[in-house]
Structure formats: structure tokens, C-alpha cells
Amino acid sequence: MTAVREVDAVIVGAGFAGMYMLHRLRGAGLDAQVIEAGDGVGGTWYWNRYPGARVDIESLEYSYQFSEELQQEWEWGERYAPQPEILSYANHVADRFDLRRDIQFSTRVLSAVFNETSNRWHVTTDKGEQLSAAFCVMATGCLSSTNLPKFEGLQNFKGDWYHTGLWPHEGVDLAGKRVGIIGTGSSAIQSIPQLAKQAAQLTVFQRTPNFSIPAHNKDLDPDYVAEVKSRYAELRAANNLQPGGFGSRTEANEASVFEATEEERQLQFERKWQIGGFGFLAAFGDLLLTKDGNEFAADFVRAKIRNTVKDPVTAALLCPKQVIGCKRICVDIDYFETYNRDNVTLVDVKEHPIERITDKGLVTNGVEYEFDVLVFATGFDAMTGSLAKIDIRGRNSMPLVEKWAAGPRTYLGLGSAGFPNLFTISGPQSPSVLTNMICSIEQHVNWVTACILALRQRGLTTIEAEVAAEDAWVEHVNEIASMTLYPSCNSWYLGANVPGKPRVFMPYVGGLPVYAEKCEEVARNNYEGFVLA
Ligand code: N01
């Protein structure tokens, strides 16, 4: 029989959440073990190596703030860092804080089962190991479980196929190839311009067009970097007061879009368009609150698309009909311009879905399209997918997937009743994907570390969400989401991209500052809403 290894905490995942959790728990004197499926750190940035992958929040802000030395010494090269640079940063962090010695790579956690007698988590891995831990921290990421729709006939395809989220590390040579790409979300919008430059022909199969704002990416000006670094703590503090945990330097406009004249609206949208990126949605304070108000912004972007794309039929197909921002807005480099290339074709699969994959390519609307390579940019089973892949069982052997069958049920997105001492970093019903993820990760990790220390100082063993507190939190999360336009379209925020997944808005829309204050208040009030034992 395999010996059971006793540790204080098991952390699942060595992305930005798992690495920082390890650093903090180690600092608090705990013996923590990270288990990571990949053979390196970086999480989503380890797996997503498709051409064009880069962050959509400015690099100087999409980075850890816990160490002043780290943020001073690391040099970002571009306004929006490309994936290789972010992965180098993750590796630098792992080395700088000597994290690797407590990370077991190339190992998947299969199960995590709570033992009600010992009050410990029993964790098994695909390497046959068994660990017993007082605490189990799921740092499994929000966008790490890829979604590959069950297309009939995929096994017959004679060419090569790839999912953007599992892109081969050695890269893919597309020179002279006929490439088909399915999907037009962020991954597709970033990769299409790059794939078009490499392939002989690129055919894009679009089900729902997306809104995208130009990144206006550029090399960072050294004077600007020096200026930010001279007052980094100040910038971080200001960002932590922003709903999304970033963007304090870009002027947000609280005014209502209805109060502006048509000319003022156009000027404001144009200014935001020229700055580029997510800030576009902050052009007015109420763009995500009413359809009529939202339509002003949506119309502005649709006009930009029509002005950019020369073929009017393609331009019309590329114009989204849904509310802008309801699906996560994309940030691009030359996306719409790419449709002016002779080697790029857009095919609508909304009216006529993809019927099947054949040995040569795929069929839609009765027409077979032939390819050497197929790319699935079909996204992720977001927020809950990676947790569902692990057999997590709490009290009475209750599987987490069963408890969450109608949608996630958590208290603060940090824990779930019946699952003591199990923490979900950036879990569903926390601000997570609506924010600068690294900022939200640090907030969660800091809270969990303080919580574990508080338990230890008081000689307590377990912390567990109360059912009533959890019910109230779930209701609150749903209620405030229903006050916005977010639930009005089919997005991965709602699980609507995965057939059979319950349609529930998963992130907390109340913003990071309000949420962080709520977490602090709960801790101050002796972890109100949790049972400590
Ligand atoms: O995934 P998505 P993603 N037939 O779910 C289509 C983050 N991210 O990987 O919209 C045909 O957005 C699907 O169509 P529809 C970011 O948070 C960040 O692009 O469901 N098409 C959609 O077009 C982002 O939001 C960056 O109708 C099918 C696409 O596939 C999140 O990850 C970069 C289909 C999936 O789009 C997810 O983005 C990349 C089918 N059967 C990702 N099934 C940065 O910029 C699905 N589709 C940092």
C-alpha cells in the first residue's frame, strides 16, 4: 500500500494563484505541497501558446503587487505582454521565491475527499500518491478546462487539429497550409491575424460575432515605466479601489450616456477607442445597465467595423447583434483588418451549424470545406470545469459536482457548505474573471492565509461555510447580476457555451473593492457566516 504523506496544505495548480498561495503559506510556517498537471508553472499562460496570445490588461498592472522588489526588478517590454513574456515572468517568480521545491509537476490530482473523523482532506494523484492535508486549496484557474464541442466525425479528420488552449509547445508550421478555425471569441480574435499571416488560406467559422476594441499595443516607453515604478505602491492602491482592480490611470466617466448629446457621445467613444482596450466600456457609467444606453456604444463599434472591413457582406456578418460587454469584450491587434486579406474567408455557422467533420475538413450548409489544419478556438468550461474534473467529496461523501448540479453554491466564492477547509481561489461567485485576475488572486490568497493563521492561533481545526450564509450570498450574486445586462446573451460567464451546463451567472458583479471589504468585514466579525470548530 502506498504511504500517505501528511502535509498541512495541498494546493492544486501552479498558476499565479497556486504560486502565491504556496509563497504565503510557506511564509506562515505551513508545510504546503503544490500539485500541477503541466511540467511548468504559469497555469493558463503555460497552456495557451497559440499565435497572438497576450494579456488584455496592461502588463504593468497585470502582475503581482505583493513584493515591491519583484515589481521594481521585472521589466515588461510591451503595453500588453505576449504569452512568452508572461510565462517568463511566472518562471522568474518561481525561481526568485524558490517555489519549485514544493511543486510537483506533471501530476494530476484525481480526488480530494474530506475525512470527517480526522477532519483532513485525503488527496490522490494520477501518479498513485496519497496525501493527507488539513487544508485543500483549489488554485485550478477559471479558464483552464478546454471546451471541445462534440463534433461528429472529428476522429475521421486526416489533417492535424489543435485547440487554442492546448497549443503545442513546439509551435505549428502553417506555411502553405489551408487552415480552418472554429470560434470568434478572444482566443480566435487574437490568433486569426497571426494565423492569416502564416497560412496559405484561412477560413473562419463564426457562430456569434464579437465586439473587439483595438489594443494599440506598443513597446513601453522607458520614461513611462520609470514614472510608474517611482510610485508603484500608489498605483496599486488606486487600482485596488477600481471595480476591476485595474485602470485607475484611465479616466472613468461616471456620467450617464443619456445625458450626453450625440456629438459628445461620439467624441467620448472615439477618445476611448483611440486609447484602446477594456477602458472603452468605461466611456459612460451606465453602458451595462440599459439596452438603449448600451446601443449607443454598440452602434459606434459596428460603424468602426463597417469602416474597416472592405467587403460589405463580410462586414455585416462581423457586426455583433448582442449587447456590447455582455460577452467579455475582446481586445485585438488588426482583427477586423485581417478580413481584407485575400487569403481570409468568413463563413457564418449560426444559420447553418457545422454538421460534421470529415476526413478532409468540415461540412456546413451542405458544403464541404477542405483543410490541412483545423483550429478549435472554442473556449473553456469556465470557472467550474477544472473543479468538476477532480472527484471532490465533502461531508457525507457528497460530491461537489452533485451539490453544484444546478450551478455553483458558495459563500463569498471562497468555500462551500459541507466542504470544510476547502478554499477556491478566484472561485465562482467571487469577482474573479470580471477583474484583473492577479489582483483578485492576491486578495483571496491574503484572506485565506490570514484565515488559516487565525484558526491556528485559536487552536481551531476547521472552517466551513454556513448554509444560510451561503444561500444569502448566492441570492445576492444572482440578484445583482440580474440588475445588469450580463445575463442577456449566451456567454461562458453563464456556462451557456457548454451544452448541458446550468445557465447561472458565475462571477460576482459588485466589483473588487466592495467584495474585498465584505471579506474583511466577515473576518473582523469572527468569520461571520462560517462555522469555526
Ligand atoms: O472562448 P469563448 P475563448 N460551433 O468561449 C465558438 C479569456 N481569454 O477561448 O459565441 C461553432 O469566448 C463560440 O461561439 P458562440 C477571456 O476571458 C483572454 O475565445 O458560443 N462555434 C465562440 O465564438 C475570454 O473571454 C485572452 O456562439 C462554436 C468561441 O467558439 C475567455 O478566455 C485571450 C461552437 C469560443 O469563444 C474565453 O475566450 C483568450 C460550435 N459548436 C482568452 N462552440 C486575453 O486577451 C463554441 N463555438 C487575455
CB 264: neighbour CB atoms within 10 A?
13
Whole-number Å distance between alpha carbons of 246 and 61? 6
Residues 294 and 256 in one domain: yes
pLDDT at 496: 94
pLDDT at 1: 65
Residues 232 and 216 in one domain: yes
Our answer on whether the CB atom of 188 is closer than 6 Å to any ligand 1 atom is yes
Q: Kindly give the number of the ligand 1 atom that is closest to the alpha carbon of 151.
A: 41
- Name the residue with the closest Cα to ligand 1, atom 8: 186
- Name the residue with the closest Cα to ligand 1, atom 45: 56
Tell me, in angstroms, the distance from the centre of ligand 1 to residue 494's CA.
13
Residues 363 and 448 in one domain: no
pLDDT tens, position by position, 322-372: 999 999 999 999 999 999 999 999 999 999 999 999 999 999 999 999 999
- Name the residue with the closest Cα to ligand 1, atom 1: 379
Number of domains comprising the chain:
2
pLDDT tens, position by position, 68-89: 999 999 999 999 999 999 999 9
Our answer on whether the CB atom of 377 is closer than 6 Å to any ligand 1 atom is yes
Our answer on whether the CB atom of 349 is closer than 6 Å to any ligand 1 atom is yes
Q: Using the predicted structure, report yes or no on whether residue 252 has a pLDDT greater than 80.
A: no
Helices (H) and strands (E) in the chain, counts: 16, 20
Label residue 2 by pLDDT band (50, 70, 90). Answer: confident
Residues 291 and 405 in one domain: no
CB 405: neighbour CB atoms within 10 A?
10
Please, are residues 163 and 191 in contact by the beta-carbon 8 Å criterion?
no
Beta-sheet strand order (sheet of 344-348): 160-163, 373-376, 178-182, 201-206, 344-348
pLDDT at 251: 73
| Residue at a domain's end among 331, 359, 376 | 376
Q: What phi, psi does 163 have (nearest 5°)?
A: -100, 135
Residues 199 and 213 in one domain: yes
Residues 8 and 110 in one domain: yes
Q: Which domain holds residue 197?
A: 154-376
Average pLDDT, the chain: 97
Ligand 1, pocket-test mutation among 47, 375, 383, 497, most atoms within 8 A of CB: 497
Decide: residue 154, CB within 10 A, 0-12 exposed, 13-18 middle, 19+ buried.
Answer: middle
Tell me, in angstroms, the distance from the centre of ligand 1 to residue 186's CA.
6
Residues 399 and 479 in one domain: yes
Q: What is the pTM of this model?
A: 0.97
